Structure 1
Amino acid sequence: MTHSAINQDLADYIQASPTPFHATASLVARLSLAGFEQLEEREDWTLEPGGRYFVTRNGSSLVAFTMGEAGALERGIRMIGAHTDSPCLRVKPQPEMNQQGLWQLGVEVYGGALLAPWFDRDLSLAGRVTFRTTDGVLRSELIDFKQPIAVIPSLAIHLNRGVNDGLNINAQTHLPPVLAMSLDPSRDLRALLLQELTQQHLDSQPVQVLDYELSFYDTQPPSTIGLDGDFFASARLDNLLSCHAGLTALIGSNQQQACLLICTDHEEVGSTSLCGADGPFLEDVLYRIISDRTQRIQITQRSLLVSADNAHAVHPNFADRHDANHGPRLNGGPVIKINSNQRYATNSETAAFFRHLCEQVDVPVQSFVVRSDMGCGSTIGPITASRVGVRTVDIGAPTFAMHSIRELAGSRDAEYLIKVLTRFCDSEHLI
C-alpha cells in the first residue's frame, strides 16, 4: 500500500476506536477477517504449527500470535508491544450536574492529558456498559454516540483578562462538559444509556444499566494536512498508530516465524492491572504457548520485543526542549528511544538490531535521548522486559502534541514503521 492508503486505513481504525474497548474490538474484527482464530482464556487451547490465534482480556487488551512453520518457535518469538489507551476524560459514577440551567456530567482526568485543547471541541461519548436484561442476565456491550453531544466551553477573555499569561485549569470545576439545557429535571445518564443500548444493540433487551466505563472523545476525524500533505493529524495517535502498525505487520508477514503482538490497556496510568503490561497477561499466554518452564525460558532468551510507543519530535517553536544532537523529525522514520536510567529498555545490541532492520528495508531511523536536565517518560518496554525477561528495544513514530486531544505525526512515518515491523516479523535470525 502507498502511504496515503496506509494513512486512510489508519484513519479508519482510529475512527472506529474511541476507547480501549473499541480499539480492541477493531483489532479483533481485523484479525478475524484475516483468518486468525479466537481463543478463550477459560477454555483449553490446541495450538498447531502454522496456526494463527488471538485472545483478549477485559475487552481492552489483546494478544495475537502466529506459531510459524515447524521449528519456528525454537528460534525465538518476534514480539511487538503497544497500548490501546490514551489520555482522556472519563465519566464519574454519579456524574449528573444541573448548573445555571444546563445539564452537565462530572468527569475524571485519565492519564497525563493536555487539558487546554479539550475546550471548545465537538465531543461525543463512548465506552462499555454493563446492564441487566429482561431475563435477569448481566451483559456488557460497547456503545458509541458518534454524534457531537457535548462541549466544554471556554470562558470569554473579557472575564479572564490574564488567560494568555497562563491558563490554570481546575479539573473538578472547569472540565464538566455541557450536554443540554436542563429543562427536564429527571434527566438521567443511565436512562440515556438504556435508550442508546436499545438502539445500538437490538437484541440486547436491557432493563437496567448497572455500571459503565465511558470516555468523552473528539469527533473531528483524522486528516492528512499541510500544503504538501506532509502531516497526519488525529486523536489517539499515542498509541493507536503503533497498534495499527503492529497489526498490519503481523497480518502482512510471511507467517513463517513465531510472532506475537500484544496491545495492553492502562499504560497511561502505570500499566498495573489484570490487563496492563505490569499484569500477568503476556506471561499467561506465553505459558500456554510453551508449557515447559525450561523450554519457555530458553525460547524467551532467543526472542526480542519491539516496544512501539510514540516519540517526541523536535518542535520548531520549542527546540530547546530537546538535546541538540537528539531531535527526531517528523517523516524522519522510527525513533530508537534510549535512557541510561532504564526508563526505556533499549540497549546497544537491541538498538543495533533495529538499525539493521531499518537498513534492510531502506527505512530512515532516528534516536531520542531526553535532555540531561529533564525527567524522562517511560512506556511498556521496561515493564515487559522486567516481567518476562525478554530483550527489548523501545521505538516509536515521532509526533507533536503528545497527550493532546489532537496529535500530529508525519504522513510517511506510519508506512516506515509498518515496513520495518513487517521485516522484523519475517526475520529468520534474531540477535
Structure 2
Amino acid sequence: MSALFATLGLSEPLLRAVAEQGYASPTPIQAAAIPAALQGRDLLASAQTGSGKTAAFVLPLLEQLSRSVRRTPRRTRALVLVPTRELADQVAETVRTLAEPLAEPVKVACLFGGVSVNPQMMALRGGADVVVATPGRLLDLVERNALGLAWAGLLVLDEADRLLDAGFEDELQRVVALLPQRQQRQTLLFSATFPPAVQALARALLRDPLRIDLAVDAADPPAITQRALQVDTAQRTPLLRHLIAQGHGDRGWDRVLVFVATQYATEHVADKLRRAGIAAAALHGERSQGARRQALADFKAGRVQVLVATDVAARGIDIQRLPVVVNYDLPRSAADHVHRIGRTARAGEAGLAISFVTAATEAHFRLIEKRQGLRLTREVIGGFEPTEVPVASDPTGGIKGRRKSKKDKLREAAALAAAAASPAPAPATRARSARS
C-alpha cells in the first residue's frame, strides 16, 4: 500500500484499491487534484495525456460517496460527462474497479448512444450511484423518466474541450439545468486545452475553482520520438507494411495504432494489411458499439497487431504499452496531432510517432511543426523515394484527407440549393448593389 497515496486523504479501502491496481505513487495531477476535491473545491484542471487524470477525479468521487449516507432507492449522486462512447466505457470501468474494496457496493451506469436504449434503461432500474454518460443519451433517458439528476451533487466534465468540439454545448446546458444549483454542487472540469468556449463554460459552472495546469510540463515531457517520412500518396500503404514487417529498429512493432482521415480509409487500409498477412482491425464512428469494443479489446490483448482508426481514438482511450503511432493521414490541427501521438509514451514509457508527409501535405505539416515549436528532418526510406511535386498550401491550413467530409458536402449542397432557388437579380439591381 502506497504511503504517498495515504497523504492525500484517501480511506483505507481506496488505498487498497490503488495498491491492487499497481499505482506506486500519485502522479502530479492526482497529487494536486485529489486533496482539493476532497475538500469540496471546484476544479479547473488540465494535464498531459497519460497523466492519470481519470483516477484524479474517480478516487475523490468514490471517497465522497463512501462518506455519505445512501438513500433507498438509489439516487444518482455523481455524474461524469464524456464526449465519446469509448471514453464512457473506460471511465465506468475505472470507477467499478477502484470501488471494489468499498464496504458498500457502488452501482455504476454507463450511458451512450449508438446502441439500443433498452438495456441501459434496464440497467437503471433501482437507480445508480454514479452515471457516466455522453450528453445526448443521458438526456434521452431523462426524458424517458429512467433517471433523475436532482441529487447529483458532484459533476465531472471530462475532456471539456472535446465535448464542445463535438457540438454538445446545448445538451450541456440542458443537463446542467437538471442538476442542483451551482452553490449546492461540486464541479470538476478537466480539459486538455482552454479555448474561449471552455473558459466561458468554466465561468458559468464553477465556484471559485482551483486552477491546476499540468498540460505541458517542460521538466517531464512525454518520451515521444517523432519522425517525418516523405512518401508518395499511393505508396503509404506499402511503406506502412514495410515498416511493420521490419520493425525499423524501434523496440519492435508488436502493436501499432494508425490514424487515417476517413471511415472509408480505416476499412480500406485495414483490409490491405490483412491481405498482406497482418492482423488488423478498423475503428470508426459508424461501426456498432459492439464492434468498436471488440476491436479495442483485441488490440489491447494483442490479438490484433494494427488498429486503423479515425480520430475517434485520439482522445480518452488508454492503451498501455503502445510503442508506435502512425499518422497515415495528417490530422486537421496541431492540437489533434498532440492528442494522436499522445496515445504512445504513456505512464512514463517511451514511444515512437511517425507522420507520413506527402507532397500535398508538406505545407500543412510545416504548420503543425510551427504550432508545436519543432522542426523534424524529413526522412526517406529506401525503395520508397517520393516522386510527387509539392502543391500550393491550403489557405485554410487544414487537411482532413482527400475526400470531402459529410458536413462539407451538406454545406455545398445547401448552398447550391439556395442559389438555385433564388431568382437572378436584374442588371440594374446588380449595378446599384455594386455602387452601394
TM-score, normalised relative to structure 2: 0.26
Higher helix share: 2
Higher strand share: 1
TM-score, normalised relative to structure 1: 0.26
Q: Max radius of gyration: which structure?
A: 2
Higher relative contact order (CA 8 A, sep 6+): 1
